[in-house]
Amino acid sequence: MPRNVEIKARVHDFATLRKRAADLADGPVEVIEQLDTFYITPRGRLKLRVLAPDRCELIQYARSDDSAAKTSTYEIVRSNDPASFSRILESALPIRGVVTKRRYLYLIGPTRIHLDEVEGLGTFMELEVVLSKGQTTQYGAAIAEDLMNKLGIHTEDLISGAYIDLLEKGT
């Protein structure tokens, strides 16, 4: 099962962070509109991410809700039929909630930097260091911490949980 090391933080100066990420990135930014529908499941999290009327990803993942760097395991299934995926999921599982965001994606080596404008919440940054077979969580955490420093992210800005958790809490 694929793994990555993640951190998430609130962003106070989105424009400055976008410039810093662009300066570090291996290539140009990709801007992605995302609609994530989360479903209630007995284990982990399950969401249907709609990227376009004819493009979606079903993502199941598990991770702790710590604010520090944490390991996430995940599986992704891609489809060109979001309507059918949504209909099947909604017939079997209750909807937990929906997260709408605009994501600015930057790639730096094995790391995906997500700068997110989340409807109803504000602006955030996620670092996802994709781990290869045999690489440790400590290895990924060291990369994440180095990028945090280069991007000017402070420990007090780190948050735990997912956007859906923050929306439910009203924070």
The residue ranges of every structural domain in the chain are: 3-169
Query: Tens digits of per-residue pLDDT, 43-78?
Result: 899 999 999 999 999 999 987 776 677 688 899 999
**Rounded CA gap, 118 and 121, in Å?**
5
Residue type for 169, please? Answer: K
Query: Tens digits of per-residue pLDDT, 147-162?
Result: 999 999 999 999 988 8
**Rounded CA gap, 79 and 57, in Å?**
6
What is the 3-class SS of 76-93, one letter each residue? EEEECCHHHHHHHHHHHC
Whether the pTM exceeds 0.85: the reply is: yes
Tell me if 162 sits within 8 A of 26, measured CB to CB: no
Query: For residue 29, how many other CB atoms are within 10 A of its CB?
Result: 16
Using a pLDDT cut of 70, give the percent of the chain over it. Answer: 98
Pairing between strand 45-52 and 111-118? Answer: unpaired
What is the predicted pLDDT for the residue at 66? 65
Pick the CATH number of 3-169 from 2.40.320.10, 3.40.50.10490, 2.30.30.100, 2.60.40.10: 2.40.320.10
**Rounded CA gap, 122 and 25, in Å?**
23
Residue type for 151, please? Answer: L
> For the ranges 71-80, 84-93, 97-106, 110-119, which has the lowest average pLDDT?
71-80
DSSP code per residue over 90-103: HHHS-EEEEEEEEE
What is the predicted pLDDT for the residue at 65? 72
Taking Cα atoms as reference points, which of 74, 97, 61, 66 lies closest to residue 161?
A: 66
